[in-house]
Amino acid sequence: MPSGNENKLKQDDEDIKYNSLNDSKFIDTDPYSYFSDLIIQILKNITHGRGVSKRGVNALSLFFLTSGLLYAHTVFPQTLIGFLKLYWIPLFFLLYFTTDVLRNFSWINEGFMRIFGGKRFSYEAIINDSVSLYELETCLEYTAFSADQLIDIVKHLVKKNQFSPKSQAKLMLNTALYEVKSINYIKDLLLEFEFTTKAVCIFLKKMEMRLDHKYLDKLIEKYCESPSVLFSVGKYHKYKINDQNSLYKLGYEFDYKSKPYDLIMVPVIVINVSLLAVFLIIAITWILLFEEGAPHNYLSRLDYVALIIGCLLILFLKILFSLIDLKATQPKKSISKYLSDKKDLDKNVIENITNDLDFS
């Protein structure tokens, strides 16, 4: 029969073995890991986020490897198109790395979610509580769920007490919500669950002139203490504008007077597009007709045409986005100024309406 000392010695042997195995996990003999960890840490500090993933670092390494081999063993192309043909594989790796880094910026990540977000994956992740709050809000706004999926998600969030004010507003902005089945569910839920007034105002805007008066009466009865809801009923549904409560009428009058802002947008866009088109035709004609106007050391005439088209497209998109931003921010400023001119309105009422109708 083994003695106590023998047992103790065996236990010590196991401890030594266990510690040696654990130590081996922390001793990394792969020099590449130091390089990848350094890149991740540097980018994490620069972007104030997760930096870049391991796959992103691998893509950067493959970019250096493939581009270095091509540069050392091939003749460097003399034209832009030739450069793209030869270096398309390194550029693919660089694009992957750049995309991975850009995911640190919320507005770019939201765009990725809109383009590449799989609705099935997003649905299952939300139901299983395996998404962050930011990812949840982004999915609720941009993912094109089915009506059944949206209903399941809302039921789950309400049950788990996770239907935050921002999540409610993001859900109301999702265009996929406005199908017959999901709309009927949300209409009933608005009367049963206590939504934020901002979410209600978004719903009223999205359903402009599509809600019957009986339902609006029920909605008003529940949210009658909210100036922004009453204002939105008059603004988006032209309802009760002759009521004693002046907020309905103020909403209707503001909507009527703000139409000129929409009319200005159309001629401005048309003029800009026309000027860009004329400049594009002149530039391309000049390059194609006058060979001496385009030096051929590095770029061909077709390369210049491609560059000009790209620059003009970027310029056009910038103008278009600036006009869209102007249109998006105009209503808030206009509502604030419009209501401030009404001497009989309380400042808290003005602030409530202005904030709730800011859907950006």
In this structure, is residue 130 part of a structural domain? no
Residue 297, pLDDT score: 46
CB of 248 within 8 A of CB of 233? Answer: yes
Q: How many CB atoms lie within 10 A of CB 241?
A: 16
In this structure, is residue 315 part of a structural domain? yes
Which residues of 174-321 form beta strands (DSSP E)? none
pLDDT digits (tens, 9 = 90+) for 90-139: 999 999 888 888 877 666 665 666 566 566 667 888 898 888 888 888 88
Instruction: Tell whether 205 and 275 lie within a shared domain.
Output: no
Instruction: Tell whether 233 and 266 lie within a shared domain.
Output: no
Instruction: Tell whether 151 and 234 lie within a shared domain.
Output: yes
pLDDT digits (tens, 9 = 90+) for 248-293: 888 888 866 655 545 555 566 666 666 666 776 666 666 666 555 4
In this structure, is residue 319 part of a structural domain? yes
In this structure, is residue 233 part of a structural domain? yes
Q: How many CB atoms lie within 10 A of CB 243?
A: 14
Separation CA 89–CA 107 (nearest Å):
28
Task: Provide the 8-state DSSP code for 86.
Answer: H
Question: Which has the closest alpha carbon to 154: 181, 127, 194, 122?
Answer: 127
Instruction: Tell whether 215 and 280 lie within a shared domain.
Output: no
Question: pLDDT > 70: what percent of the chain?
Answer: 63
Instruction: Tell whether 226 and 164 lie within a shared domain.
Output: yes
Instruction: Tell whether 265 and 247 lie within a shared domain.
Output: no
What's the total number of domains in the chain?
2
Show the tokens assigned to 340.
């401030």
Instruction: Tell whether 280 and 329 lie within a shared domain.
Output: yes
Which residue type does 159 have?
K
Separation CA 307–CA 147 (nearest Å):
44
Rounded to 5 degrees, what angle do the CA atoms 203, 204, 207 make? 85
In this structure, is residue 228 part of a structural domain? yes
In this structure, is residue 226 part of a structural domain? yes
Range of the domain at 345: 260-291+298-356
Instruction: Tell whether 265 and 230 lie within a shared domain.
Output: no
Instruction: Tell whether 313 and 244 lie within a shared domain.
Output: no
Instruction: Tell whether 272 and 350 lie within a shared domain.
Output: yes
Inter-residue long-range contacts of 309-313, CB under 8 Å, 24+ positions, other chains counted: 309/280, 312/276, 312/279, 312/280
Domain end, chosen from 252, 275, 309, is at 252
pLDDT digits (tens, 9 = 90+) for 41-92: 887 777 766 678 888 888 888 998 999 898 888 888 888 888 888 989 999 9
In this structure, is residue 326 part of a structural domain? yes
Identify the burial level of 164 via C-beta atoms within 10 angstroms of its C-beta, where 0-12 means exposed, 13-18 middle and 19 or more buried. middle
Residue 233, pLDDT score: 93
pTM of the model: 0.56
In this structure, is residue 265 part of a structural domain? yes
Separation CA 275–CA 132 (nearest Å):
46
Residue 137, pLDDT score: 87
